[in-house]
């Protein structure tokens, strides 16, 4: 059971990190090459769909990392799970206010403020990628050779 929990933690962290890094390295810069209104219109459904993948991965990684620790895998697995799980409160507390402002139906999508919010969102989202990548690197380092 321990080996399965370790593998699942590593997969969750790696998948989350890969998706988050892809968003910051490829998707968001491509989006920002559009005019501001088009970028904001593209961001909204992209954000909604990414949430359906990333939230379950973060929770799964937290639970499997904690499970691996409880099963005797060591505190490193708990730390990996906590690093990945930390993206949830970070998103809810730090990123969500920006998301709400971007999703406000009364927002002028073509405004410079909207462009600034999209730029702020990318910086905040990058933190999620760093947390997930750290969880992945730690998980890989803990796997038996």
Could you report the per-residue pLDDT of 9-45, keeping only the tens digit for each?
A: 999 999 999 999 999 999 999 999 999 999 999 999 9
Instruction: Give the separation between CA 53 and CA 137, rounded to whole angstroms.
Output: 20
Instruction: Give the separation between CA 143 and CA 50, rounded to whole angstroms.
Output: 28
Give me the mean pLDDT over the 107-132 stretch.
Answer: 98
Spatial contact of 61 and 81, defined as CB atoms under 8 Å apart: yes
Average pLDDT score over the chain: 97
User: Could you tell me how many residues make up the chain?
Assistant: 145
Instruction: Give the separation between CA 2 and CA 71, rounded to whole angstroms.
Output: 6
Note the pLDDT of residue 145: 81
- Exposed, middle or buried by CB within 10 Å (0-12, 13-18, 19+), for 109? middle
In the chain, what are the domain boundaries? 2-142
- pLDDT, one tens digit per residue, over 78-114 is 999 999 999 999 999 999 999 999 999 999 999 999 9
Question: Where does residue 116 fall: left (phi above 0), alpha (psi -120 to 50 degrees), or beta otherwise?
Answer: alpha
Spatial contact of 18 and 61, defined as CB atoms under 8 Å apart: no
In this prediction the pTM is 0.94
């Amino acid at each position: 059971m321990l080996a399965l929990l370790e593998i699942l933690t590593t997969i969750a962290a790696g998948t989350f990190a890969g998706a988050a890094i892809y968003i910051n390295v490829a998707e968001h810069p491509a989006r920002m090459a559009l005019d501001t209104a088009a970028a904001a219109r593209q961001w909204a459904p992209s954000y909604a769909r990414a949430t359906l993948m990333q939230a379950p991965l973060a929770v799964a990684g937290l639970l499997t990392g904690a499970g691996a620790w409880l099963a005797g895998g060591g505190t490193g697995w708990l730390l990996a799970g906590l690093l990945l799980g930390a993206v949830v409160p970070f998103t809810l507390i730090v990123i969500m206010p920006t998301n709400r402002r971007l999703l406000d139906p009364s927002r002028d999508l073509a405004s410079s403020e909207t462009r600034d919010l999209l730029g702020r969102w990318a910086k905040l989202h990058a933190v999620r990628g760093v947390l997930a990548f750290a969880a992945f690197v730690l998980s890989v380092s803990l796997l038996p050779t």
